[in-house]
């Protein structure tokens, strides 16, 4: 008799934690970010928004084509594109452990997260986050037997 395969093993974790690594020593810091997985409401909301934006743009292109007009992609400036990329990742951050900037508490908010990710003096934070999200096993759920 064959045992039925449990497809739940393909489920992703709702959240995952990313421990930021010190840029000089390479050691883990005490700064931990909680990130929204693929099935988390924040991620689903983001995915739906991006899909709506893409569909709206396709509709505008089709409307221009039907009306015999040329479609012109809206021009974006480099700074706007950088901020957009930072916002994309920040939307998937749920929280972070306490941290300070210049001795002052710097609480988690999406705007604070965007500011940190966009800071040209702190590229390693953006890179760590982007690398984590790109990893195949970033949100692999761990079972009691794994």
**Can you tell me whether residue 7 is helix, strand or coil?**
helix
The domain containing residue 126 runs over which residues? 16-41+78-134
In a domain, 34, yes or no: yes
Other CB atoms within a 10 A radius of the CB of residue 67 amount to: 7
Q: What are phi and psi of 70, to 5 degrees?
A: -85, 135
Domains in the chain, number: 1
In a domain, 60, yes or no: no
- Give the pLDDT of the chain (146 residues) as one tens digit per residue: 889 999 988 888 999 999 999 999 999 999 999 999 999 999 999 999 999 999 999 999 888 888 888 888 888 898 899 999 999 999 999 999 999 999 999 999 999 999 999 999 999 999 999 999 998 778 887 654 44
pTM of the model: 0.84
And the tokens for 144?
Answer: 């009691």
In a domain, 28, yes or no: yes
In a domain, 116, yes or no: yes
């Amino acid at each position: 008799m064959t045992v039925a395969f449990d497809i739940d093993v393909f489920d992703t974790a709702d959240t995952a934690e990313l421990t930021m690594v010190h840029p000089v020593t390479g050691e883990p810091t005490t700064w931990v970010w909680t990130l929204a997985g693929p099935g988390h409401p924040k991620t689903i909301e983001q995915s739906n928004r991006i899909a709506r934006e893409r569909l709206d743009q396709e509709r505008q292109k089709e409307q221009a084509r039907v009306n015999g007009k040329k479609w012109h992609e809206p021009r974006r400036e480099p700074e706007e594109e950088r901020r957009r990329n930072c916002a994309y990742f920040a939307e998937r951050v749920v929280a972070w452990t306490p941290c300070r900037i210049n001795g002052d508490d710097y609480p988690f908010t999406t705007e604070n997260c965007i500011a940190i990710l966009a800071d040209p003096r702190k590229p390693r934070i953006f890179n760590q986050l982007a690398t984590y999200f790109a990893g195949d096993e970033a949100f692999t759920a761990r079972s009691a037997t794994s």
